[in-house]
């Protein structure tokens, strides 16, 4: 006599008895949901993390709107996913390739990618495996956050919970500062970077007396507009961002200044919607170095 065991149809609902905690904010969700109902981060991250042996770590890319977060991140992924170097990035899941695809296709058409949406459900999230000699089995989660959402959360705490939840759990940060604006005598990027750094210290519960051991790579973006940033990023920081420089000395134990540029030259076009900046040549410089430094400095398994 042979027996056939078949799962009862009603057992299908048993899985709903246990919620799926969001990987970013930790709140419970139904397993069928696409987005966390609390912070609106994709639950695909939680599904993927659940089947991985390695706990993914979080890397924050922060900066104001228009400083070049999307372009830098997309270009970084493109460079590291194509080269057979000691440092490589492999996307986990199809959704992790969208950012790279968007940036590369826009730049190929001599366009910058559109402004990142303010709604977290429309951000590009990257979950990738990093192969580096200094770190074995590193998994990273990196969202392309909207600069305006970051500003919103800093100015009005808890207005954008995903920003707070994510930055609280970061294991390292890339802080982007617009070198082109600094070179033109605009000190807003300095003030903004100081705000973000103070915010990070606050989130990680560090008092002003104790230094934060989170590695932070300060990257002067659009450095193609001012060669002095490339020549010596630290000296550029001391001269152009004295407030940030002082704050780093006092609050951070691991930081370094870098300079990067994605385009070799830009031009202006005038059309029905007004004046727009377009990239003419793609000449990435200083894209990988900050990431390489961060990977070597990030502590494993801090989560």
Dihedral sign, Cα of residue 166, residue 176, residue 293, residue 106: positive
> Which is nearer to other proteins, 65 or 91 (by Cβ)?
65
φ, ψ of residue 193 to 5 degrees: the values are: -60, -40
Q: Is 156 in the site for other proteins (CB under 8 A)?
A: yes
Q: Is 227 in the site for other proteins (CB under 8 A)?
A: no
Q: What is the DSSP string of 143-183?
A: E---HHHHHHHHHSTTSSHHHHHHHHTEEEEEEEEEHHHHH
Q: What is the DSSP string of 202-238?
A: HHTT--TTS-B-S-EEEEEESGGG-HHHHH-HHHHHH
Write the DSSP symbol of residue 20.
E
Q: Under rule CB under 8 A, how many of the chain's residues touch other proteins?
A: 30
Distance CA 230, CA 266 (A): 18
> Which is nearer to other proteins, 112 or 255 (by Cβ)?
112
> Which is nearer to other proteins, 65 or 104 (by Cβ)?
65
> Which alpha helices (DSSP H) does the chain contain, by range?
44-51, 69-82, 98-108, 147-155, 161-168, 179-183, 188-203, 227-231, 233-240, 242-251, 288-297
Q: Which of 31, 115, 210, 239 binds other proteins (CB under 8 A)?
A: 115
Write the DSSP symbol of residue 252.
B
Report the site for other proteins in 18-37 (rule: CB under 8 A): 34-35, 37
> Which is nearer to other proteins, 154 or 294 (by Cβ)?
154
CA dihedral 66, 68, 71, 72 (to 10 degrees): -160
- x-marked contacts with other proteins along 168-207 as a string, rule CB under 8 A: --------------------x-------------------
Q: Which of 27, 111, 152, 202 binds other proteins (CB under 8 A)?
A: 152
> Which is nearer to other proteins, 62 or 294 (by Cβ)?
62
Smallest separation, CB 124 to other proteins (Å): 13
- x-marked contacts with other proteins along 268-287 as a string, rule CB under 8 A: -----xxxxx----------
Q: Which of 155, 205, 207, 301 binds other proteins (CB under 8 A)?
A: 155
> Which is nearer to other proteins, 118 or 129 (by Cβ)?
118
Smallest separation, CB 70 to other proteins (Å): 11
Contact (CB, 8 A) for 69 and 163: no
Binding site for other proteins (CB under 8 A): 34-35, 37, 40, 64-66, 112, 114-115, 117-122, 147-148, 151-152, 155-156, 159-160, 188, 273-277
């Amino acid at each position: 006599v042979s027996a056939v065991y078949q799962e009862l149809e009603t057992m299908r609902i048993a899985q709903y008895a246990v919620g799926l905690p969001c990987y970013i904010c930790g709140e419970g969700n139904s397993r069928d949901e696409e987005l966390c109902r609390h912070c609106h981060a994709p639950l695909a991250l939680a599904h993927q993390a659940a089947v991985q042996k390695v706990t993914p770590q979080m890397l924050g890319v922060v900066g104001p709107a228009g400083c070049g977060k999307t372009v830098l991140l997309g270009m970084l992924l493109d460079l590291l996913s194509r080269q057979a170097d000691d440092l490589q990035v492999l996307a986990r899941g199809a959704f992790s390739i969208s950012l790279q695809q968007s940036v590369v296709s826009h730049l190929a058409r001599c366009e910058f990618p559109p402004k990142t949406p303010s709604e977290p459900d429309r951000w590009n999230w990257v979950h990738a495996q990093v192969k580096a000699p200094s770190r074995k089995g590193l998994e990273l989660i990196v969202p392309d956050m909207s600069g305006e959402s970051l500003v919103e959360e800093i100015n009005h705490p808890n207005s954008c919970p995903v920003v707070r939840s994510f930055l609280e759990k970061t294991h390292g940060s890339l802080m982007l500062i617009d070198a082109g604006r600094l070179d033109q005598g605009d000190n807003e990027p300095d003030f903004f970077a100081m705000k973000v750094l103070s915010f990070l210290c606050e989130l990680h519960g560090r008092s002003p007396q104790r230094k934060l051991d989170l590695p932070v790579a300060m990257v002067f973006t659009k450095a193609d507009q001012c060669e002095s940033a490339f020549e010596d990023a630290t000296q550029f920081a001391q001269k152009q961002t004295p407030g940030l420089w002082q704050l780093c000395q006092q609050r951070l134990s691991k930081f370094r200044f870098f300079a990067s540029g994605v385009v070799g030259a830009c031009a202006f076009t005038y059309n029905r919607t007004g004046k727009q900046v377009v990239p003419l040549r793609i000449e990435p410089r200083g894209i990988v170095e900050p990431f390489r430094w961060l990977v070597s400095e990030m502590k494993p398994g801090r989560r």
